[in-house]
Amino acid sequence: MSDTMSRITLARRPKGAPVQDDFKQVTESLPAPSEGQVLIAVSHLSLDPYMRGRMDDVKSYAPSVDLGGTMTGQGVGRVLTSKADGFAEGDIVTGMTGWASHACLPGSDLRKLDPSLPPSTALGVLGMPGLTGWVGLHTFGKPKKGETLVVGAATGPVGSMVGQLAKSLGLRTVAIAGGAEKCRLATETFGFDAAIDHRAHDDAQSLRAAITEAAPDGVDIYWENVAGMLLEAVMPLMNVHGRIPVCGMIAWYGGANIEDSNQLPGMWRSILVKRLQVSGFIIFDHWDQYPAFLGDVGPKVAAGEITYLEDVAEGLESAPAAFISLLKGGNVGKQIVKL
């Protein structure tokens, strides 16, 4: 076993979209676990859009990454040394390892994984993104058979979960994705009834016309992953008593393309006159539902009833470039880094 480890740190705060120089890879001595801790050799890392917000020094629902600190994130790996009850060498576990080759974490912060499933599923379809889609749809989307759902970033791990669950409940599902290939995946792999390439539209009016054609009965649930032009396009199409679970707003991350305030009165009026339920939620508030989620979705994944895709980057050093690409829609499926 090597006596050193590598980690990716935040070298500087981004101005707008992150670039490679905002990150730095460092090598240091391997930590030794204290009583109650576990040393893990990380095998897979998760990359997620929320990490962009952690790079800014602003007050939010979770602490920012310190300059020189390890980029935050969930990982899975194998236990090398355990000084915590319930964990033994060789166990496969998951926890907030950060972007690092190794992590030393309290046993209380770790969860052992089912060895019969690929470990990377704990980062995607059976992890935080899958739970986000499941909780958000059922708790805030409140789907009813015969309704219409529109999903932004539909081929990502959250959007694809939302679409498949809604389809199984008898809803019409409309995917919004970037590019012809992602639209093909939305319908052929994830089973959406229709898919619209937002890159084929220069403005909200054009995109709205395409959504109207795909959703002739209006929109009952709009799953908000994107904001920006898509939000502007969808709002006039919402039906009375429609629901909007607000999961993310990737078009506005980094302060770019923030909606002009002149549009806000129209948005607020739609919420009022159509009696819309707009629900912002953070999945960390709902971890108590994880056992129920796993009990429902785990067997469906094992049986092939829920489909998932993973976009795997090789090596810890690839994490910054993969993350930068993710924020631009360059990934296909859940973005994973394999160490």
Strand runs labelled E in 97-171: 102-106, 111-112, 148-151
Number of domains in the chain: 2
Residue 185's CATH number: 3.40.50.720
Question: For residue 265, what pLDDT is reported?
Answer: 64
Burial classification of residue 149, based on how many CB atoms lie within 10 Å of its CB (0-12 exposed, 13-18 middle, 19 or more buried): buried
Same domain for 61 and 134, yes or no, is no
Last residue of a domain, one of 246, 266, 283: 283
Mean pLDDT of 99-122: 94
Same domain for 263 and 141, yes or no, is yes
> d(Cα 140, Cα 129) in Å, to the nearest integer?
16
Residue 115's CATH number: 3.90.180.10
Model's pTM, two decimal places? 0.86
Q: Which residues of 180-203 are buried (b: 16+ CB within 10 A; e: fewer)?
A: eebbebbbebbbbbbbbbbeebee
Nearest to 104 by CA among 129, 87, 128, 120: 87
Nearest to 246 by CA among 218, 276, 202: 276
Q: What are the tens digits of pLDDT across the range 130-183?
A: 999 999 999 999 999 999 999 999 999 999 999 999 999 999 999 999 999 999
Is residue 298 assigned to a domain? Answer: no
Look at residue 201 and tell me whether its pLDDT is greater than 50: yes
Is residue 299 assigned to a domain? Answer: no
Question: Are residues 239 and 218 in contact, defined by beta-carbon separation less than 8 angstroms?
Answer: yes
Is residue 290 assigned to a domain? Answer: no
- DSSP element (H, E) containing 238: strand 238-246
Same domain for 163 and 42, yes or no, is no
Is residue 293 assigned to a domain? Answer: no
Same domain for 197 and 113, yes or no, is no
Is residue 155 assigned to a domain? Answer: yes
Q: Which two tokens stand for residue 266?
A: 């129209």
Domain of residue 212, residue span: 128-283
